[in-house]
Chains A and B, each alone.
Chain A
Amino acid sequence: LETFVGHQVLRIKTKNEEEVKQLQLLESLDHLELDFWINPSAPALPVDVRIPAASVQSVKAFLESQGIEYSILIEDLQDVLDKEKEEMAESAQRQR
């Protein structure tokens, strides 16, 4: 099972079309291996993106350099998945 240690999910709020375009540019950079949960489309809509551990710093640096606002939706994805797995196991145990 693939692990997601250190992966973060950011919620990015754009202010204008220019910032949306910057995110669309980011989206096209395959080497960052970004997983857009909500793609950049219009300034009114938030963008959610999962960022592998290796790309977190560079993506944040890019956003900060462009003055694009973001917050951390999920600090460490693997923590969330571990909890999910644990809850599934507990439920299966209860049912047995």
Chain B
Amino acid sequence: SSSFDFGAYHTLDDINKELDHLASEYSFVEKIQIGQSYEERPLYVLKFSTGGSNRPAIWLDAGIHSREWVTQASALWIANKIASDYGTDASVTSLLDKMDLFLLPVANPDGFVYTHTSNRMWRKTRSKIPGSVCVGVDPNRNWDAGFGGPGASDKPCSDSYHGPSANSEVEVKSVVDFIKSHGNFKAFLTLHSYSQLLMYPYGYKCTRPDDYAELESLGRAAASSIRSLYGTSFQVGTICNTIYQASGGSIDWSYDNGIKYSFAFELRDTGRYGFLLPATQIVPAAQETWLGLKKIMEHVRNKLY
């Protein structure tokens, strides 16, 4: 219903109902299924499109690490913001008049349900690993980008286990297949929490990407936009330089596959809560994140390649 509380955490069923609601409320919003998870839950994407076929597009996902609840919650707030601002906000209107936007609010639905029903600390997928008593793969170590290299574990019981092979996780493969078949994505943005970072490639190696200067400058501009609202400070840089070397990550894959504007956000934690951000912080986190995202999206729109 329209009474959905964006300032609260919700179950997967409630989130999916809200996606239906947004799709029914706005003619340019469509809920599409791009695959299903290991436990056969649908992977739903909201497609924001005001016309034209195979327009240049922007990808945005959240919740690949299931316990980082503020990301799924922020994605919903952002979806509602984009939908309601079209036609009234000049920036969103000109963006959607030129490009499509695809938003995956719950990239790891099995893990998300598991955090609600069994273990709030769960981060990985729920796939069974042959020969191991442990379950699940870190889906942000499972992309075909330096797969199996430094910063990922080969131990199935580890929280950063990279999985038996690249794209072994159907949640990852579904996104890869969708993006490849679309063929016209210009930006790949992913929401994580926490630690207030805005990162670009690379993570699997500690060298600068070819577009370093532009990504660094754009990242700083986005961080400045984020800071403008509540003063939240984001550090900007490559994954390797800002946090640590991590192989098999999504934005390294997207960048190496020709999507220049590839960024990962680590949302606010206010220095106290880690990824267990209180619900009162959801809307402020989403509001400031949206300003950063908008800065990047405007740049992409103006610099189509």
Contacts and interface: CB of A to CB of B under 8 A. Distances in A.
Q: Do A and B come from one complex?
A: yes
A2 B120 contact: yes
Nearest to B9: A88
Given A45-B244, A81-B276, A84-B276, A2 B8 contact: no
B118 interface: yes
A2 B118 contact: yes
Given A84-B9, A87-B8, A30 B278 contact: no
A53 to B, nearest CB: 14
A94 B10 CA distance: 13
Interface string B1-31: 1011101111000000000000000000000
Q: Which of B9, B159, B273, B274 has the most CB of A within 10 A?
A: B274
A74 B272 CA distance: 8
B279 A84 contact: yes
A91 B274 contact: no
B45 to A, nearest CB: 25
Given A41-B243, A42-B244, A87-B278, A95 B4 contact: yes
B119 interface: yes
Contacts of B273: 73-74, 80
Interface residues of A, number: 28
Contacts of A41: 243-245
Given A41-B245, A74-B273, A87-B278, 11 more contacts: A2-B119, A9-B274, A35-B159, A36-B159, A37-B274, A42-B244, A74-B274, A81-B276, A83-B278, A84-B278, A88-B279
Interface of B: 1, 3-5, 7-10, 117-121, 157, 159-160, 194-195, 243-245, 272-276, 278-279
Interface of A: 1-2, 4, 9, 30, 35-39, 41-42, 45, 48, 50, 73-74, 77, 80-81, 83-84, 87-88, 91-92, 94-95
